[in-house]
Chains A and B, each alone.
Chain A
Amino acid sequence: MSSDRSDGSGIVFWQGNEVVAEAAIAAGCRFYAGYPITPSSEIAHVMAERLPQVGGKFIQMEDEIASMGAIIGASLTGVKSMTATSGPGFSLKMENIGYAYMAEVPCVIVNVMRGGPSTGLPTAIGQSDVQQARWGTHGDHPTIALAPAFHREIYLSTIKAFNLSEKYRIPVMLMLDEVLAHMSEGMRVPEPSDYHLVDRVKPSVTPEEYFPYDTRFGDVPPMASYFEGFRFHVTGLNHTKTGFPTTNPDICQSEEERMIRKVMKDADALAEYESYLLDDAEIAIYAFGSTARGARGAVDEARKQGIKVGLFRAITLWPFPDKAIYALAKRVKAFVVPEVNLGQMIQEVERAAHRDMPIVGVNKVGGIPIPPSEILSKIKEVAKNG
């Protein structure tokens, strides 16, 4: 029983949050747990309306921690699950996000970034949770975080977030910002033929031969669902392939390394980005999310003024595109990194560039998007000094 909220023309005029919700339904999400928080609440509104229509379930939990626990529980029964939050809510979810990494449970967490820290600027844009997405939960873990910038891309990235979570058995972060989430934009709803759906690999062995973390089948072990006769154990403690706790140093070491390797061995392929006018560029901009939209305008304007500048628009924040940035750093003279925080992804650009070269930020945390004119001024300044 599908009835998405389009008028039948295929063209919709949704805000970013609505796009996420509709795309999640298309991706096969059938369980959503959330807690009210600005500016992500519209995702919950649409999920509450749409999930029962398709036989799925929505629950508003008592807090953010509970929402995160609930989606892990539902996912363990084989149901694709999602939660969405912002700011302080993302902090609260971190404990159970760590659990999902450790127990290798697929799920999707949307974070609509607002100003912070703490309650900060609840109704205004921020991009200051990007390092938290990487390192927010304690302990070592890999991270997959996507940051689309256009509504159709938000739709396809939401589907991709589910696909990657299923493929790698990990929680995947979808990082929007308040501007994208609340901006409405005309979009043709992608058809099922425009994307593919991935489901977790189920065991091919009998329950007697099944281990929940059996690496005979690769670094991503096949995953049974509860109530299918496998009767397996899941814990947040370090565990052996059986799922039961261990403190054996060799097993703890090799299993933690595997959990990182399962993602990082595909890091290059996972790092999705768009190159805009980079071929002959002397200055490269690294930007993501709504800031990248303004950066593109600044590039166009600078080009008109004869400055050879291009845009590296990151769609995948994590894993960071180390190789692509390293290669780019060899060709350009400088980087400009605009972001709505006081310098977070710029640290990664510096690390990956691995060169002594100007890498300068344009940083705003006043709850307003970075005006293209400020990015343009920085480009001109860098061009003059270079």
Chain B
Amino acid sequence: MAKAAIDYLYYLRADKLPHMWCPGCGIGIVVKAMIGAIDDLGWDKNDIAVISGIGCTSRAPGYLDMNTLHTTHGRALTFATGVKMAQSTKHVIVISGDGDATAIGGNHFIHACRRNIDITEIIVNNNIYGMTGGQFSPTTPYGAKAATTPYGNIDPSFDLVELAKGAGATYVARASVDNGRMMQKLLRDGMEHHGFSVIEVLANCHTQFGRRNKMSDAVTMIDWIANRVVAKAKADKMTLEELEGKVITGLMYQNKERPEYTDEYDKLIERVQAKTSAKAGSGK
């Protein structure tokens, strides 16, 4: 990259720092990659809305010097859909945690995927409800300990990539906090993609997840993530046995053909107005 160094403070609300996250929390890495992606795209920060629900991750918009909206638990995509429908030329980014996006917000998630509305959703997946005290989420691994699984988790977990693909998202990627460069590239491409983009980011919550699962510091937890992930290109050459227990990162799916929702609505308006004016003309 021959580009000038990124002026992070230009994109941040410096007066809101220091942030409220635990030292070493993975969310900070995601915010850094987001800024890098936006800077790379050259987007005007006046034209960007960053929208979140409730949880540790959902505090991210408050630190970004953009049009920011901290909504109700699980509902970020619903507000974002209203923003995007009303101002379809603007950039709308949603940032959510795993519980926010796929438990209480699960219905909104699959329908935003289905519509293929041009919103980028970043799901910071740290396998736990951090802010409310470490309860298990739809992505907590089988057997893991959480505040509400003192005997180990018996709930099966979601594969967010498969969920997004199955529901109709047209850009689906998985990144991880141990590889900021790859994350930034995937976020950038997801933001540029014209349609609904989902980027799952595997992140560490050592405070709530790690502490209960023998990984109570950030480094141990990030190592755990780093040892599990395999980049897509490498994974493609591996056997199923070799992939056992691994999580594949990279661009998992992209479809540039499917129509985007606000484009479809704009076409509908054109069609309706042409018909209405033709009718008005013939009636005179």
Contact = CB atoms under 8 A, between A and B. Distances in A.
Contact of A61 (B81, B86, B279): B81
Contact of A63 (B13, B107, B276): B107
Interface in A216-253: 226-237, 244-245
A313 to B, nearest CB: 36
Nearest to B108: A66
A74 interface: yes
Given A69-B72, A235-B62, A244-B16, A59 B280 contact: no
A233 B280 CA distance: 44
B82 A81 contact: yes
B80 to A, nearest CB: 6
A227 B49 contact: yes
Interface centre among B86, B87, B277, B279 (most CB of A within 10 A): B86
B81 A73 contact: yes
Q: Identify whether the interface residues of B are mostly helix, strand, loop, or mixed.
A: helix
Interface stretch (B193-201, B244-252, B265-273): B265-273
Contacts of B103: none
A70 B49 contact: no
Interface string A69-80: 111111111110
Interface residues of A, number: 46
Interface string B100-123: 000000011011000000000000
A152 to B, nearest CB: 26
Nearest to B49: A226
B277 A1 contact: yes
A55 B85 CA distance: 12
A377 interface: no
A33 interface: yes
A99 B51 CA distance: 14
Contact of A3 (B62, B79, B87, B276): B276
B85 A31 contact: yes
Contacts of B67: 226-227, 230-232
A1 B47 contact: no
A65 interface: yes
A190 B32 CA distance: 55
**Contact size class for B?**
35 or more
Interface string A41-57: 00000000000110101
B20 to A, nearest CB: 9
A301 interface: no
B83 interface: yes
Contacts of A73: 51, 69, 78-84, 86
Contact of B85 (A59, A62, A245): A59
A96 B279 CA distance: 40
Contacts of B269: 52, 55, 57
A233 B84 CA distance: 17
A231 B45 contact: yes
B206 interface: no
Interface in A1-52: 1, 3, 30-31, 33, 52
A95 interface: yes
Given A52-B269, A52-B272, A3 B78 contact: no
Interface string B29-64: 000000000000000011101010000000001100
B82 to A, nearest CB: 3
Given A234-B69, A236-B72, A70 B82 contact: yes
Contacts of B276: 1, 3, 53
Contacts of A227: 46-47, 49, 67, 87, 90
Contacts of A78: 86
Contacts of B75: 65-66, 69, 95-96
B65 interface: yes
Interface string B253-284: 00000000000010011001100110110000
**Of A65, A75, A233, which is in contact with the most chain B CB atoms at under 10 Å from its CB?**
A233
Contacts of A79: 86
A231 B111 contact: no
A358 B90 CA distance: 60
Interface in A72-119: 72-79, 81, 95-96, 99
B166 to A, nearest CB: 16
Contacts of A69: 71-72, 75, 78-79, 81-82, 108
B226 interface: no
Nearest to B271: A52
B82 A31 contact: yes
A50 to B, nearest CB: 10
Contacts of A68: 78
Given A52-B272, A76-B69, 7 more contacts: A53-B276, A61-B111, A65-B78, A69-B82, A227-B47, A234-B68, A244-B62
18 contacts: A1-B276, A31-B86, A52-B273, A55-B269, A69-B71, A73-B84, A76-B79, A79-B86, A81-B86, A95-B75, A99-B71, A227-B67, A228-B46, A231-B65, A233-B62, A235-B62, A237-B70, A245-B62
List 3 A-B pairs, minimum CB-CB distance, nearest first.
Answer: A73-B82, A69-B78, A70-B82
